[in-house]
């Protein structure tokens, strides 16, 4: 007969695991990540076919997270095709995006607070030391 001994340590371990899991928005198998809305922070006029940089509400990208854009169309006028900041930083550093390139499928006016797309953030372990910034 096996006896299972449950102590406070088991409860602490479970709480830590649940806390770490709650910091991520989704998981696919063993891969977990976060979703962030790409939201316009200014009004801008677009003609069909225009691709322009538009200010967005800041999105913080933690160090060692990769960014992917959801392919699902979140805006009926077009699609966010990138997010960026003034000075590109390596993946190993915290980044804060404040602009997005938006490709308009039709003539439209994007208004402040419009949803432009969805950013998917996935944590990665970087093994190549050349990808880390020099100190």
Using pLDDT thresholds of 50, 70 and 90, give the confidence band for residue 35: very high
Q: Token pair for residue 52?
A: 């322009």
pLDDT at residue 3 greater than cutoff 80: no
Q: Token pair for residue 126?
A: 């970087």
Q: Token pair for residue 39?
A: 């939201």
> Structural domain boundaries of the chain?
8-131
Ramachandran sector of residue 102 (left: φ over 0; alpha: ψ -120 to 50; beta: rest): beta
DSSP state of 113: T
Q: What is the average pLDDT value for the chain, to the nearest integer? A: 84
- pTM, rounded to two decimals: 0.75
DSSP state of 32: E
Closest CA to 35 of 123, 96, 121: 121
pLDDT at residue 45 greater than cutoff 90: yes
Q: Token pair for residue 60?
A: 């913080």
For residue 88, which phi and psi values (nearest 5 degrees)?
Answer: -65, 135
Instruction: Measure the CA–CA gap between 119 and 122, rounded to whole angstroms.
Output: 10
The average pLDDT across 60-85 equals 92
Using pLDDT thresholds of 50, 70 and 90, give the confidence band for residue 124: confident
> What helix, strand, coil percent values describe the chain, rounded to 5?
15, 45, 40
pLDDT at residue 6 greater than cutoff 50: no
pLDDT tens per residue across span 74-123: 899 999 999 999 888 888 899 999 999 999 999 999 999 999 999 999 98
Cα dist from 90 to 86, 87, 128, 131, whole Å: 13, 10, 13, 7
CATH class, range 8-131: mainly beta
Position 4 scores a pLDDT of 45
Position 133 scores a pLDDT of 59
User: Please, are residues 97 and 59 in contact by the beta-carbon 8 Å criterion?
Assistant: yes
């Amino acid at each position: 007969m096996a006896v299972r001994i449950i102590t406070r340590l088991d409860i602490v371990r479970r709480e830590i695991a649940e806390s770490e899991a709650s910091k991520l928005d989704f998981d696919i198998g063993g891969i977990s990540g976060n979703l962030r809305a790409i939201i316009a922070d200014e009004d801008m006029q677009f003609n069909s076919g225009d691709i322009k940089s538009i200010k967005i509400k800041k999105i913080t990208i933690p160090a060692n997270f990769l960014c992917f854009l959801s392919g699902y169309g979140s805006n009926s006028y077009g699609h966010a095709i990138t997010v960026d900041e003034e000075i590109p930083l390596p993946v190993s550093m915290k980044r804060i995006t404040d602009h997005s390139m938006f490709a308009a499928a039709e003539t439209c006016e994007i208004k402040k607070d419009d949803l432009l797309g969805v950013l998917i953030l996935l944590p990665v372990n970087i093994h190549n030391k050349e990808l880390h910034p020099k100190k």
